[in-house]
Structure 1
Amino acid sequence: MSKKRYRVYLDDILTSVERIKDYTKNLSKEDFLKDLKTIDAVVRNIEILGEAARNIPEDFKEKYPELPWSKMISMRNKVIHEYSGIDLEILWQTVQEDIPSLEDQVKELVEN
């Protein structure tokens, strides 16, 4: 399977990552935890990037095991199915720690 065929999904992941970074830049953890609109926007984009990851076939994902495919899908499932019980501390940690590295990994995949 070629990257070209799944480029739309990879682009969706990158767009969602960029939006999450944009929505949360210059926010402290305390400000983020009080900002319901930003929380909703971040959650929505986690849904989108997880759905995009879910739509990429397993054989393609197996070629690029360094990407956290299952983690993206798992986060999507949590925010969709457990929306009333989202742990905002974990959400903030994801934004700060996982989103920047995910962006780097997907960009590298797309560019190479």
Structure 2
Amino acid sequence: MKKDSVYLLHILDATNKIEEYVSVGKDVFMLESHWQDAIIRQLEIIGEATKKLSSDLRMQHESIPWKRIAGLRDVLIHDYMGVDLEAVWQVTQKEIPSLKLKIEKILKF
């Protein structure tokens, strides 16, 4: 769990940054590439850290869609020119808050 806790902290930090960045609002996010880049980078970090988690931890917390989280990272990196900003925004609004709560629970924050 020690190694896993490092990756979980990376995920938690990235969710906190995303929550901070989206506070600019959807209109600003859609217009300004530096906000897009910042949020996409944090999603990449979440995906990378997810891939590093042990299979034991992932099995203990099956309610978290680990494969989908890691897959999002792959789409962002491998298909960067075709990023769907609306989809990214929806992830920040619908998935990130829930993920943050689940990670905090695992870490017992």
Q: Same fold (TM over 0.5)?
A: yes
Q: In the TM superposition, what whole-angstrom CA distance separates every residue of 1:22-69 from its partner, at most 9, and x where no partner exists?
A: 1111x3322210011010000101111100000112222111101121
The count of corresponding residues between Structure 1 and Structure 2 is 109
TM-score where L is the length of structure 2? 0.94
Look up the match of 1:49. 46
Q: What stretches of structure 1 move > 4 A for 4+ residues in a row?
A: none
Counterpart in 2 of 1:39?
36
Could you tell me the TM-score, scaled by structure 1's length?
A: 0.92
Structure 1: gaps (5+ residues): none
Mapping for residues 89-100 of structure 1, pairs under 5 Å: 89-100=86-97
Q: Deviations over 1:56-84 (max 9, x none)?
A: 12222111101121121011101100000
1:26-105 alignment, distance < 5 Å: 27-105=24-102
- How far the C-alpha of 1:5 sits from its partner, in A, is 3.0
Q: Which of 7, 17, 24 is residue 9 of structure 1 equivalent to?
A: 7
CA RMSD in angstroms, aligned pairs only: 1.2
Q: Which ranges in structure 2 are unaligned for 5 or more consecutive residues?
A: none
